[in-house]
Structure 1
Amino acid sequence: MRRADRLFLLIHALRGRRSALTAQHLADTLSVSLRTVYRDVSDLQRSGVPIEGEAGVGYMLRKGSDIPPLMFTPDELEALVVGTRFVRAFGGVRLGREAAAALLKIEAVLPQELRERSDRTRIFAPEVQRMENSGLIDDLYAAVTGAQVLRMSYRDNDARPTEREIEPLCLAFWGGSWTLGAWCRLRCDFRNFRPDRIVEFVPTGETFPETRERGLKAYLAAANAL
C-alpha cells in the first residue's frame, strides 16, 4: 500500500470515533507494523492533523475537530485544478485522462465551500487540437519507461532529414514545446530532440541499461552544466 493511501485510511479510521483506537488495532486494520503506525501518526500530528493520544493508550481525533477527507487549503485546491488543466492540455492522452479522473475523485469528497472554490478559478488551458493529442507523447514516454532503443527519422534545425538511434531518458516540457532527452548513438553524446520534428520512429526491440555515464543522472548533470 502506498504511504499516501495509508495515511488517508488512518485518518478515515479515526474520523467520527468517540473512543480511542489503539495502535495495535490500527496496525491490524492497515496490515502494517506498530512502528509504522507510530511513525505515521507522528508525521500527521506534525503536519497539523488534530490527533490526540499516545503509544499504549490509543489515538483519536481532537473533540470538536472536523477535518475534511482531504485537507487542502483553497489555494492548494486551486493549484491542483489549474495543474490538472495544464496536464490535460499538454501532458498527452494518458496523463490528461488520469489527471481529470483524479480531480473528479478529489472534488467528490471536498466540502461544498472548497468545491465551489475549485469551480471559480479563472486560469484555463484550453484543450485544442495539438501534438499532445496525437498520442506521440504517450508513445515516447512508454519508450522512456521501458528503456527501449528507438530508431527514428528526425529533422534538424535546418529541416534536414537525419537518421538516429537513441536511448530515450526523459521528457521535459518547456511551456511551449516538449523535448526528448536521450543518448544519441550517432553523436555518442546526450542530445535533446523535439517530438514535433520526429518524422517517424520505431522501437528496435533492444532495451538499454542505465549506466553512470549514459543514464538520466548523467544527462541532467550535462544539461545543468550548459
Structure 2
Amino acid sequence: MSRAERLLDLLQVLRRHRHPVSGRLLAQETGVSLRTLYRDIASLQAQGAPVEGEPGLGYVLRPGFTLPPLMFRDEEIEALVLGMRWVAGRTDGPLAAAAGDALAKIAAVLPAELRDRLDASTLMVGPAGTVPDGVDLSALRGAIRAQHKVAIRYRDAAGAGSKRVIWPVALGYFERVRVVVAWCEARDDFRHFRTDRMEALTLTGERYPRSRHALLRDWRTAQGIAPAA
C-alpha cells in the first residue's frame, strides 16, 4: 500500500469513530506501527485535515470533513451495490426508491472505470420473502426522526389485540420482517413490535420527553449490546 493510500485509509478509520480513538487502536486498525501512526497523523494535520488530539488522549476527526467521492476500492463498490440491492428488495417502496436514487448519484460522480465496475458488480441478492407491513413505514421512520410518539393498534403472536402509545427509536430490517424498537407507555419499558402485526398507526405529533439517542443507549444497555463506536 502506498503512503497516500495509507493516509486515506487512516482518514476512513477516523470517520468511522465519533469519539476519540487511541493511537494504539488506530495503529492496529490500519496495520502500522504506533510510530508510523503518529507520523501519519502529523502528516494529515500538516495537510489541513481536521484531526484533533494527541498521544495519550486519542484522536478524532472533526465533524464536517469530507473526502472526494471518487476514492472507492473494489470491495467498497461491491459493498455499496450489494447494500443498495438489498434495500431495494427488502424494504418498502419509498426506501427502495431512495436506494436506487442514491446509487445513481454515486455513479454520476465516479470516473468511467469505476462506474463500469459499479454496473458490472456480480454480487446478487436473492428473492425477497418478506411479510407485508400493516402500516406505512415511511410515516414510522418520520416519527423516529422527529422523536414523536405514535399510537398503534397491535395484535401479538397469540392474536390478542391492544392499543399502545409508543416512543419509536429504531426500526430493524430482518430477512422477512421489520421490528420497531420502542418505549411502551403501557408497559413502562422497552418493547419490540413487528410491523406486520400493526393494524393501525396514528401520528400524534407529540415529542417524547427523552432524546432518541439516550433511549437507544438505554435499550442497548438493557440488551447487552456494546455501544456504537
Unaligned runs of 5+ in 2: 1-10, 12-43, 51-67
Question: What is the alpha-carbon root mean square deviation over aligned residues?
Answer: 3.3
Does the CA contact (< 8 Å) of 1:91 and 1:132 recur in 2?
no
Higher relative CO (Cα under 8 Å, sequence separation at least 6) belongs to 2
Q: Which amino acid aligns with 2:146?
A: G
Shift of 1:82: 1.0
Question: Are residues 115 and 205 of structure 1, via their aligned partners in 2, closer, same or farther at CA, if it must alter by over 3 Å?
Answer: closer
1:219 paired to 2:219: yes
Per-residue CA deviation, residues 16-75 of structure 1 (Å, 9 max, x unaligned), is xxxxxxxxxxxxxxxxxxxxxx8594549xxxxxxxxxxxxxxxxxxxxxxx96011122
Aligned residue-pair number? 166
Identity across the alignment (%): 34
- Structure 1 regions of 5+ residues with no counterpart? 1-6, 8-37, 45-67
Q: What letter matches 1:142 in structure 2?
A: G
Q: What per-residue deviation string (whole Å, max 9, x for no partner) do you get for residues 95-151 of structure 1?
A: 322221221122223233322222222333478796679872211111111122111
Which residue in 1 is equivalent to 2:79?
Answer: 79
Change (3 A) 1:103 1:158: same
User: What's the CA shift for 1:219?
Assistant: 1.4
TM-score, normalising length from structure 2? 0.61
TM-score scaled by length of structure 1: 0.62
Paired residue for 1:202?
202
Structure possessing the higher radius of gyration over alpha carbons: 1
Contact 1:93 1:133 in 2 (8 A): no
Does the C-alpha gap of structure 1 residues 103 and 205 become closer, same or farther in structure 2, counting only changes over 3 Å?
closer
Q: Give the Cα separation in 2 of the matches to 1:133 and 1:156.
A: 14
Residues 92, 132 of structure 1: 8 Å contact kept: no
Residue 113 of structure 1: aligned partner: 113
Tell me the CA shift for residue 222 of structure 1: 1.1
Change (3 A) 1:204 1:90: same
Instruction: Return the alpha-carbon distance in structure 2 between the equivalents of residues 85 and 101 of structure 1.
Output: 12
